[in-house]
Amino acid sequence: MFTGITTDIGEVRSAAPRGQGLNRLTIACAYPHASIAIGASISCSGVCLTVVETGEEAGRTLFSIDAAAETLAVTTAGRWRAGTKLNLERALKVGDELGGHIVAGHADGIAELVARENLPDMARLTFRAPAALMRFVAQKGSVAHDGVSLTVNEVTRDTFSVLIIPHTLQVTTFGAAKAGDAMNLEIDLMARYAARLMETR
């Protein structure tokens, strides 16, 4: 589990097929090498992935993960190449501060950034999401975009907007986000389960 609070921006160093629909991705980060265990979960732009190998190179920590066919199909992980920047977050520990909202790292789909409006000291981003997911998006509710916990500002039939404060623009990949970018979208867990309960009544 995660909170949607990015703790580092990683960079993909390599992406290579491993057979049987797997991609092995190696990511450079600033986390201490000794702190990353094999089998640890790290949210990579909103996708919970398992560390299968670690190393060090030029003073930076490297960790490798295997992205399975389903992950490659329903998230942006299939588009990651050397140089791609990723929002990283380590898994929650008992007693950690819950600064964002409960995030599972299980992306529900891909949303497109359709507009960016730069305002004094912040930016308004407007996203278009698949119709099947828009019903879970509510004004003042929470979503996770590329692993970042965000509060929904406005909602229309097929789009919604969020306001990004300066700190978030500096410490996440949103600083460089532009119209046309695809991002991993995770809807709020409570909305997902509430809808499921209603469907099975």
What's the predicted TM-score (pTM) here?
0.93
SS3 76: helix
Residues 119 and 193 occupy one common structural domain: yes
pLDDT of residue 192: 76
Is 14 domain-assigned? Answer: yes
Whether 69 and 145 map to the same domain: the answer is no
For CA atoms 14, 75, 116, 166, the dihedral sign is negative
Q: Which of 22, 56, 90 is the last residue of a domain?
A: 90
* Whether residues 80 and 140 fall in one domain: no
Q: Is 73 helix (H, G, I), strand (E, B) or coil?
A: helix
Domain that holds residue 132: 109-199
Distance CA 9, CA 197 (A): 37
Of the three residues 28, 55, 90, the one that is the final residue of a domain is 90
Q: Answer for the pair 163, 126: CB distance below 8 angstroms, yes or no.
A: no
Domain-located, residue 45:
yes
pLDDT at 166 (0 to 100): 95
pLDDT at 76: 97
Is residue 168 a part of any domain in this protein? Answer: yes
Q: Bridge partners of 155?
A: 160
Shared domain check, 66 and 25: yes
Task: Examine the domain organization and report whether 115 and 195 are in the same domain.
Answer: yes
Predicted pLDDT at 176: 96
Give per-residue pLDDT as tens, 82-117.
999 999 999 988 888 878 888 999 999 999 999 999
Same domain, 17 and 86: yes
Q: Under a CB-based contact definition with an 8 Å cutoff, are residues 50 and 33 in contact?
A: no
**147 lies in the same domain as 66:** no
Q: Is residue 2 situated within a structural domain?
A: no
The enclosing domain of 174 has a CATH number of 2.40.30.20
- pLDDT in the model for residue 188: 87
Residues 119 and 59 in one domain: no
Please check whether residue 178 lies inside any domain of the structure. Answer: yes
Number of domains composing the chain: 2
Q: Is residue 31 part of a domain?
A: yes
So what's the pLDDT on residue 150? 96
From 51, 48, 64, 54, select the one nearest 33 (Cα to Cα).
54
- Residue 137 shares a structural domain with residue 77: no
- Extract the tokens encoding 148: 């970042």
Residue at a domain's end among 42, 58, 90: 90
Q: What is the predicted pLDDT for the residue at 68? A: 94
Name the stretches of the chain with pLDDT < 50.
none
